[in-house]
Chains A and B, each alone.
Chain A
Amino acid sequence: MKVIDFLRRLVGLRSSKEVEAASSASLEEKYGSTWYMLLHSKEGFIGILLISVFLGWSILEGMLQLAGLLLGRPSIGWLLLPHDPLAPPNPAASLLPPSSRYPLGTNFNGQDILSRLLYAAPLDALAAIVVVSSALTIGALLGMTAGYFGGWIDEVLMRLTDAFLAFPAIILAIAISMMLGNGFNSLLISLSAVWWPTYARLFRGETLTIKYRGFVEISKLSGISDLRILFKHIFMNALDPALAFLALDFGGVILTYSSLAFLGIGIQPPYPEWGSMASNSLNFFPGAWWYTFFPSLAILMVVIGFVLVGDSLQEQLLGTMV
């Protein structure tokens, strides 16, 4: 419980008594209690822990890599890693099992798998953040416009959303990134281009329920502009269910991203990526089981973190039934 209290103070929460004392559910208090509930439920706590480790490491390692890039000395990027993740092929160390020197073993090129896993984390985190936030932005804009103005605008935007929803995200992303040329940036663009329809649906539905509520009607009568109402009232209130979905969705992006890397789309070698590490390892499976196992485990742990948080958020924000 001490750890939880510490974590709660870390994110600037009030004590549980204060939360309980607050009877009215203003937005701030609601989030306060959401955080409280999240950290007190077992699954939410494990999830938060996994995500914090992943994001914390990604930020640290990402800064180092950025510094290395800016100073023209890439070796800064592996300052904290046990070995050089991009070391030139070393046949003598090829496919060594886990040992004290190589905690998770080595790959075919004799590179340390632990170092490569840690080195690849920041770009996975970056991909998830960029894709989810751009999907949220596009989806919120289109969905709220459709829901708020209704009529033919709604009809056109929703048919377009349906059209995009009809493509499995992974397949459309493959097609787009193929046309853009293979690489990290084009993968981000193509994933963002296919990821928004679910958010558009979600925000439209929320907007439809919110727009007839009293405070929106009153704002309209007092002559507040549509844009302001959309942002201040509708967006802020629609954010709740979106947030619960968002956490689950982070996991979805990471899974899709690594599945695409598995097919050879996205970051190109020699740069490590969890999905492509798993894919390269298949030729040596099951003899070199560590080569497949640890990259897959890394993906599994991170996605479980997001799924746990998303799951308990949905239970709290939308009621236990969901």
Chain B
Amino acid sequence: MLQTNLITFLIRRSLNAAITIFLLLFVTFTLIHVILPTPEAMAKIYVGDAHYTPSELQSIIVLYGLNKPLYVQFVSYVESIFRGTIMDPIYGAPVMSLVEKFLPITFELVVVVISVEVTIGVLLGGLAALNRGKALDWGIKALYLMAWAAPIFLWATLMQFFFAYDLKILPAMNVANPILVPPKPITGYPLIDAAIEGDWVYFRSVLKHMILPVVTLAMLGFGGTTRLTRSSTLRVMDKDYVKLAYMKGMSNGQVFKGTVLRNSVIPIITMTALHFGYAIGGAVIAEEIFLYKGMGFFMNQAIMNLDLPVVMTTTLLIGISIAIANLVADILYAVVDPRVRVR
């Protein structure tokens, strides 16, 4: 009974994710065509040069099939996305081959950010709840409100200045020390590649270069987790089974770990899936400041070059990866809490 419930749940959620991804494709396609309604307007984007002749424009319209009916264009759009054949007029290479190089770097960064953020958030949130109304509670609140309200470029610049330029203990920019030879890209993820090939010097360098961007991005998001952990901990603390645990003579830490955290973990999973999106959005700015050559950096270059195909494709891919992250969160949810499967 339980098993079939889980399976139908998984099928339904996967179906939902598939529909969402289809709609993502539809939305980006519609946006492009609402804003650039005529084939000529579309072609001007692809020219990549302000000086063009009408015949050049015509040849581009024919080349990209911009004068075909919209549904034909939509099918070929979806096809070109999945087969990775969208060409980039500026780099002269398929967009996918460029994205493949940059996307893993950002994903790696974001995964580290999320784990740091959740760890700090849960610890601080738990501390705040256990010390409710005391100075520590207020201190933690002041800390995360500040972190929340500051523009990300402020943290990034301040930290770059103090730790890299003033104290000189951390590198200011790049993914790794540019002197080192990067390991052969097997997975594309710098840390994993370095670990596979046993290149521990490079591994350490990547880790060291990651610290500042990770701290900056974690600042952006740990407040949400802290707040949520605090509130759900407080809610659980009123329950009888927690009082029982205290009566058994367990310490604060034991109760928090054994009883409270397990019950407040579910909203935290949802929150974390949401933060995946925020962190990627923040990475666009952090990567620009730290010259961290991942997706965000690449996207900024594309913005400056007015390279629409790259911007649209990266936007779409990020959307798809977030839809998948939400699906994973839903599945995790069902594994952690059987009650979810019913609805």
Give residues in A with beta carbon < 8 Å to B: 159-160, 162-172, 174-176, 178-180, 251, 255, 258-259, 262-265, 275, 278-279, 282, 285-286, 292, 296, 299-300, 303-304, 306-308, 311, 321-322
Choose from B148, B157, B318, B322 the contact partner of A307 (Cβ within 8 Å): B148
Please, which residues of chain A bring their CB within 8 A of the CB of B259? none
Residue of A nearest to B26 (CB): A163
B280 at the interface (CB under 8 A from A): yes
User: Do the beta carbons of A171 and B235 come within 8 Å of each other?
Assistant: no
Please, which residues of chain A bring their CB within 8 A of the CB of B186? none
* Separation of A178 and B23 alpha carbons in the complex (Å): 21
User: Do the beta carbons of B150 and A296 come within 8 Å of each other?
Assistant: yes
Choose from B149, B288, B311 the contact partner of A175 (Cβ within 8 Å): B311
In the complex, chain B residues 1-59 whose Cβ is within 8 Å of any chain A Cβ: 16, 19-20, 23-24, 26-28, 31-32, 35-36, 45
User: Do the beta carbons of B151 and A167 come within 8 Å of each other?
Assistant: no
User: Do the beta carbons of B151 and A168 come within 8 Å of each other?
Assistant: no
Instruction: A166-B320, A168-B280 are known; give 12 further A-B pairs, CB within 8 A.
Output: A159-B19, A159-B20, A163-B20, A172-B315, A172-B319, A175-B31, A175-B312, A178-B311, A259-B152, A263-B288, A285-B161, A304-B149
Given contacts A167-B315, A169-B281, A263-B300, contact A275 B151 (CB under 8 A): yes
User: Do the beta carbons of A159 and B23 come within 8 Å of each other?
Assistant: yes
* Separation of A171 and B27 alpha carbons in the complex (Å): 14
Please, which residues of chain B bring their CB within 8 A of the CB of A279? 153
Chain B interface mostly: helix
* Separation of A308 and B138 alpha carbons in the complex (Å): 13
Please, which residues of chain A bring their CB within 8 A of the CB of B104? none
Please, which residues of chain B bring their CB within 8 A of the CB of A311? 145
Give residues in B with beta carbon < 8 Å to A: 16, 19-20, 23-24, 26-28, 31-32, 35-36, 45, 145-146, 148-154, 157, 161, 165-166, 231, 234-235, 277-278, 280-282, 284-285, 288-289, 299-300, 303-304, 306, 308, 311-312, 314-315, 318-320, 322-323, 326
Please, which residues of chain A bring their CB within 8 A of the CB of B285? 170, 259, 262-263
User: Do the beta carbons of A171 and B284 come within 8 Å of each other?
Assistant: yes
* Separation of A286 and B159 alpha carbons in the complex (Å): 12
User: Do the beta carbons of B19 and A179 come within 8 Å of each other?
Assistant: no
User: Do the beta carbons of A286 and B165 come within 8 Å of each other?
Assistant: yes
User: Do the beta carbons of B24 and A179 come within 8 Å of each other?
Assistant: no
Chain A interface mostly: helix
Sampled A-B contacts (27; CB under 8 Å): A159-B19, A163-B20, A163-B323, A166-B277, A166-B322, A167-B24, A168-B280, A168-B284, A168-B322, A171-B299, A175-B311, A179-B36, A259-B151, A263-B288, A264-B304, A278-B153, A278-B154, A285-B157, A286-B161, A296-B151, A300-B146, A300-B150, A303-B149, A303-B150, A307-B145, A321-B231, A321-B235
* Separation of A130 and B149 alpha carbons in the complex (Å): 20
* Separation of A300 and B16 alpha carbons in the complex (Å): 39
* Separation of A31 and B107 alpha carbons in the complex (Å): 45
